[in-house]
């Protein structure tokens, strides 16, 4: 493997190739050295993985740990107020996305039954109803409106609140706090305030559910005496957070991408059967979660390089999903391509637990929006749409849209 490729100093993040493509530097690195050393702002030399095969191999290998409590995990961008990491971070109980087997397996297993394809099929009609109600409300507004606020954020929030048994009226509390949590350079203090507010809220909620359980997923978990209150809080936090920010950004950025590809949008409107394939392609093309971290627990060979024990490894799913060795013309949105095998939902033991729910939400969401708003258009020039390059989940901050006739 060549050693002449540039070594990035921190993670290249500027979307200089357009709102939907990987940063140019990331694409260049993927071609030159798909497993590349990277300098972190704290001086640590870790790794950046951008190739499809390499990323898939890494995610399937549990020697690349998701834990934060076994070694020092370095952050590839500046966080104001963040002291230099010299110690591993303590493990948060219940937060199984940051655990390895067998701890991870024990907790994830408690949820798999609630997220099966069959369960999600049963929810389909209900989710379509939620979408319709939200579109009714949007149709009553005078355009331009912000699609993020009026539609993309509210649909997944309503769905996950109902599923978990979190009162939707409390959404301000967790939406505002989880958004703060996602701002990359939000100071550590602010992040902690937001995190503490969310966990205090959830502590009260799960304690009440343990005392008087109802008919919802958090109550089902609360009935399980094997789970401590601290674990219930961590699991609730993960589900609530993962359950709305991800899908919301897919719906909003996906709409932006479709509006920028009017021919494909027209095809989708004419033939909704194309939607399931289009949703997979949008997930590949947009890769909103993009950056994930792993920690090497031993020296590991990957892509012809040796990743030494103790290194932080950063992966770019966006880069891998745009790898021309795996997808032809990867920087082109093509709703007809077979995009299965994309890595946007992760791979290996941590592969997204809520993926079927996300698919049902996205199919219903795009189908409803396109049908009800046949003249939907951007209300500002595309170049003025505020991109979430400052957030750890990509998307748009707002998507001002308008339409020319009332939606029926
Ligand atoms: C894990 C993406 C929707 C719950 C993940 C991972 C990715 C991902 C990439 C793997 C993280 C890793 O390996 O470190 C997405 C995307 C979504 C979406 C792109 C929307 C389009 C959802 C929804 C839920 C959810 C609706 C519902 C609760 C979870 C959970 C995990 C997870 C609990 C952790 C799984 C584990 O550690 O075993 N998701 N997700 N996600 N996702 Fe999603």
The rounded distance, in Å, linking the Cα atoms of 130 and 135 is 9
Q: Which one, of 348, 403, 397, lies nearest residue 183 by Cα?
A: 397
Distances (CA, A) of 163 to 207, 218, 354: 17, 8, 12
Q: Is the distance from the beta carbon of residue 284 to the nearest atom of ligand 1 less than 6 Å?
A: no
Q: Name the residue at shortest CA distance from atom 38 of ligand 1.
A: 350
Domain residue limits, the chain: 24-402
Q: Give the pLDDT score at 4.
A: 52
Which pLDDT value is given to residue 2? 46
Q: Rg of the chain's alpha carbons, rounded to an integer?
A: 21
pLDDT score, position 353: 97
Dump pLDDT digits (tens) for 246-265: 999 999 999 999 999 999 99
Task: Decide whether any atom of ligand 1 lies within 6 Å of the 313 Cβ.
Answer: no
Q: Which band of pLDDT confidence, cut at 50, 70 and 90, is reported for residue 100?
A: very high
Distance 95 CA to ligand 1 centre (A): 12
* Residues 281-318 pLDDT 10s: 999 999 999 999 999 999 999 999 999 999 999 999 99
- 24-402 CATH fold: Cytochrome p450 (1.10.630)
Cα 5 to ligand 1 centre (Å): 32
- pLDDT tens for residues 67-87? 988 877 787 877 666 666 677
Task: Please indicate whether residue 350, judged by its CB atom, sits closer than 6 Å to ligand 1.
Answer: yes
Q: How far apart are CA 72 and CA 184, in angstroms?
A: 19
CA angle 98, 280, 178 (to 5 degrees): 40
pLDDT in tens, 337-396: 999 999 999 999 999 999 999 999 999 999 999 999 999 999 999 999 999 998 889 999
Atom of ligand 1 nearest to the CA of 359: 21
How far are the Cα atoms of 53, 77, 222 from residue 84, in angstroms, in the given order?
33, 12, 37
DSSP three-state, residue 387: strand
* pTM for the whole structure: 0.95
- Find the farthest-apart pair of alpha carbons in the chain and give their distance in angstroms, rounded: 62
| Mean of the per-residue pLDDT values of the chain | 92
């Amino acid at each position: 493997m060549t050693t002449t490729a540039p070594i990035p100093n921190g993670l290249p993040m500027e979307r200089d190739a357009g709102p939907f493509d990987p940063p140019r530097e990331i694409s260049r690195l993927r071609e030159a050295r798909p497993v590349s050393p990277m300098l972190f702002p704290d001086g640590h030399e870790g790794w950046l993985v951008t190739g499809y095969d390499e990323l898939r191999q890494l995610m399937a290998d549990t020697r690349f740990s998701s834990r934060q409590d076994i070694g020092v995990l370095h952050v590839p961008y500046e966080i104001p107020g963040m002291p230099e990491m010299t110690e591993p971070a303590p493990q948060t109980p219940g937060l199984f996305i940051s655990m390895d087997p067998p701890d991870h397996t024990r907790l994830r297993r408690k949820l798999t039954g609630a997220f099966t394809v069959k369960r999600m099929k049963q929810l389909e009609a209900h989710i379509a109803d939620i979408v319709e109600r939200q579109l009714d409300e949007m149709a009553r507004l005078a355009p331009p409106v912000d699609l993020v606020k009026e539609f993309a954020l509210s649909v997944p929030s309503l769905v996950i609140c109902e599923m978990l048994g979190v009162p939707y009226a409390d959404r301000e509390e967790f939406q505002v706090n989880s958004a703060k949590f996602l701002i990359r350079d939000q100071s550590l203090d602010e992040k902690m305030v937001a995190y503490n507010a969310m966990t205090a809220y959830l502590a009260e909620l799960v304690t009440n559910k343990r005392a008087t359980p109802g008919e919802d997923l958090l109550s089902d978990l609360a009935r399980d005496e094997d789970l401590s209150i601290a674990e219930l809080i961590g699991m609730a936090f993960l589900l609530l957070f993962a359950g709305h920010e991800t899908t919301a950004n897919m719906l909003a950025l996906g709409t932006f991408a479709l509006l920028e590809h009017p021919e494909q949008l027209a095809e989708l409107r004419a033939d909704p059967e194309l939607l399931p394939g289009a949703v997979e392609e949008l997930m590949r093309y947009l890769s909103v979660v993009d950056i994930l971290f792993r920690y090497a627990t031993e020296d590991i060979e990957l892509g012809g390089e040796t990743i030494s024990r103790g290194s932080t490894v950063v992966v770019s799913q966006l880069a891998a999903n745009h790898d021309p060795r795996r997808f032809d013309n990867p920087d082109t949105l093509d709703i007809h391509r077979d995009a299965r095998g994309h890595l946007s939902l992760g791979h290996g033991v941590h592969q997204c637990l809520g993926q079927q729910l996300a698919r049902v939400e996205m199919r219903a969401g795009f189908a409803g929006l396109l049908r009800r708003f046949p003249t939907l258009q951007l209300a500002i020039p595309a170049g003025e749409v505020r991109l979430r390059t400052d957030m750890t989940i990509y998307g748009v901050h707002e998507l001002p849209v308008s339409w020319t006739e009332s939606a029926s």
